[in-house]
Structure 1
Amino acid sequence: MLKLILAPLLVALATLVARRWGPKIGGIVVGLPLTTGPIFLFLALDQGLDFGARACVGILFGLVGLAGFALVYAAVSRRAGGVVSLMASAAAYFVVSGAVNSLALNRMIGAALAAYAALLLVAWLIKRPQPGATKPVSRWWDIWFRMITAAGLTLAITTAAERLGPTFSGIVGTYPVVTTVIMTFTHHQSGREVAIAMLRGTVLSWIGFVSAFLVIGLTLIPYGLTVALVLAVLANLGTTILALWIDRFITSRTKGNPHEFVPARPFDR
């Protein structure tokens, strides 16, 4: 029952926040580990703390893949629609995550540093949203679709955990299914600028995501699940606030000359 209820409720909360406070704040909430968190919790409870600690490495690899997901979406969406952009982004996620995993960076710190570096780079490359970007328009029924999708993913990943193993469970469980669903509707209903505004907020939120699972990976076995989760929440919150403060500071210094997404420019020619 928890697998069927917990993740969908968190997704519904994120959707309502996005509707109320706009794309950037919505993106920040969407970037929270709304599905990965419950998936990790069920893995740790079902498979044991050692399995959960090793899954954190896969989750950190997956966060490097999330940087590839966002970068490809921002580039491809300049010339293609939301569906094509998301298909390319999904492929990039698994390619990047698998490539990082093949480097055998099995140390927790190395995986976390790679995730921090990748996400900070992508946050810098994606242009800041235009002032006054409109809030995403949502239909009454899409929140139910998002909740059903979250429940399905949680059940699928936790069921397949034994076959996938801890690292690949972490990678697959980190796939941004909530972001994928919400970005699909946002891009279609409100346009690319609003979708990119939400995506950039999500990338900034993913930086705190790294801190959360780095802390869990380091503290889960010595201190137990409850303490690790409490410390992870504090680490996630502190890192997200710091990332948003730095982004706001940089924005105020570069006001009037926002970053344009550089890698996509060759496609303009």
Structure 2
Amino acid sequence: MSPELHFIIFLLLRMAIAAAFVVSASVITERSGPVIGALVATLPVSAGPSYVFLAIDHDAAFVAQGALASLPINAATIFMGLTYVVLAQRQSFVVSVASAIGVWIVLASIVRLFDWSLAAGLAVNVVAFGICIPLLAKYRHVKMPLVTRRWYDIPFRAALVATLVAIVVSTSGWVGPRVSGVIALYPIVFTSMMVILHPRIGGPPTAAVLANSAWGLLGFGMAIAVLHVAVTHFGSAIGLSLALGTCVVWNLTLWAIGRRKRLAH
């Protein structure tokens, strides 16, 4: 088998695996309501496969450096969510989604101009979430209408995440860890939910899913920090496992707290 054919086959396999993760998470999100959906949406179903493939192709130092670049991007994502949530209450689908994506692109472009330390990345997240979580709180409680899936939903989501993985895997060797870390954290799940759900169920219910995602996204930022530290000291396999474990434990804790509050009422 030629090297070119070998690369194409494995690239397609990686794209298919990543797409399966995101599609599964999106379906669960639609069927579970905004609270459970938000917890699923903030699991590393998009960034996780991208980082696994980066770890396969590069050494631990590359992955650790990429995580440093990803950490402040997590702050950009919560501002993207806030932009969409606020605009989706009254503005059209096009204005809400385009503005949110535009905010992420601008902030990501600024982020990639700097060499980030772990402390700086954590500080940016603390400030960003300190601002956004209180502002998002009042948009969280909206009843989720019944969603009827259309034939193109799953292919669209699969194509979206597969394209992201293809970009990350194909370009990581020459763009370096900083840009790879930025690209890997593009919020595919948020984008697909906005694009698919907003025209169907309206802005406020779709915004409720993103508003409920704030606390989960905070945990995702912690997982990125864990990834950087653990990969540096223990290697990529242990680092990725600990980062995934951080996300899962954090989101399960949020679920348990929310369930206890509901039972109390």
TM-score of the superposition, structure 1-length normalised?
Answer: 0.84
> Quick one: distance in 2 between partners of 1:169 and 1:193?
33
Q: Which residue of 2 aligns with 1:52?
A: 63
Cα offsets for 1:78-114 (capped at 9, x unmatched): 3421222111111111222333444x46211320232
What is the aligned counterpart of 2:176 among 165, 170, 192? 165
1:215 aligns with 2:226: yes
> Quick one: distance in 2 between partners of 1:250 and 1:185?
31
What is the aligned counterpart of 2:194 among 183, 189, 211? 183
Q: Which residue of 1 aligns with 2:161?
A: 150
What is the aligned counterpart of 2:125 among 115, 136, 140? 115
> Equivalent pairs: percent with the same residue?
25
1:5 aligns with 2:25: no
1:77 aligns with 2:64: no
> Quick one: distance in 1 between partners of 2:255 and 2:68?
25
What is the aligned counterpart of 2:135 among 125, 131, 135? 125
> Quick one: distance in 1 between partners of 2:25 and 2:90?
29
Counterparts of residues 30-109 of structure 1 (less than 5 Å): 30-102=41-113, 104=114, 106-109=116-119
> Quick one: distance in 2 between partners of 1:112 and 1:247?
25
Q: Check conservation: 2:83, 2:99, Cα contact below 8 A.
A: yes
Q: Check conservation: 1:128, 1:200, Cα contact below 8 A.
A: yes
Compare the two structures and name the one with the higher helix fraction: 2
For the residue of structure 1 that corresponds to 2:54, the secondary structure is helix
Q: Check conservation: 2:139, 2:204, Cα contact below 8 A.
A: no
Displacement of 1:67 in angstroms is 1.5
> Quick one: distance in 2 between partners of 1:89 and 1:189?
18
> Quick one: distance in 1 between partners of 2:50 and 2:70?
11
For the residue of structure 1 that corresponds to 2:213, the secondary structure is helix
What is the aligned counterpart of 2:249 among 207, 214, 238? 238
Displacement of 1:131 in angstroms is 5.0
TM-score of the superposition, structure 2-length normalised?
Answer: 0.85
How many residues are treated as equivalent by the alignment?
253
Displacement of 1:252 in angstroms is 10
> Quick one: distance in 2 between partners of 1:199 and 1:95?
20
Counterparts of residues 197-208 of structure 1 (less than 5 Å): 197-208=208-219
Gaps of 5+ in 2: 1-9
Gaps of 5+ in 1: 256-269
Amino acid in the other structure paired with 1:109: A
For the residue of structure 1 that corresponds to 2:141, the secondary structure is coil
Distance 1:252 1:114, change over 3 A: farther
Displacement of 1:151 in angstroms is 0.9
> Quick one: distance in 2 between partners of 1:143 and 1:117?
36
Displacement of 1:224 in angstroms is 1.5
Amino acid in the other structure paired with 1:228: G
Q: Check conservation: 1:62, 1:172, Cα contact below 8 A.
A: no
> Quick one: distance in 2 between partners of 1:233 and 1:156?
22
Q: Check conservation: 2:43, 2:248, Cα contact below 8 A.
A: no
Aligned-pair Cα RMSD in Å: 2.5
Q: Which residue of 2 aligns with 1:259?
A: none
Displacement of 1:244 in angstroms is 5.2
> Quick one: distance in 1 between partners of 2:236 and 2:139?
37
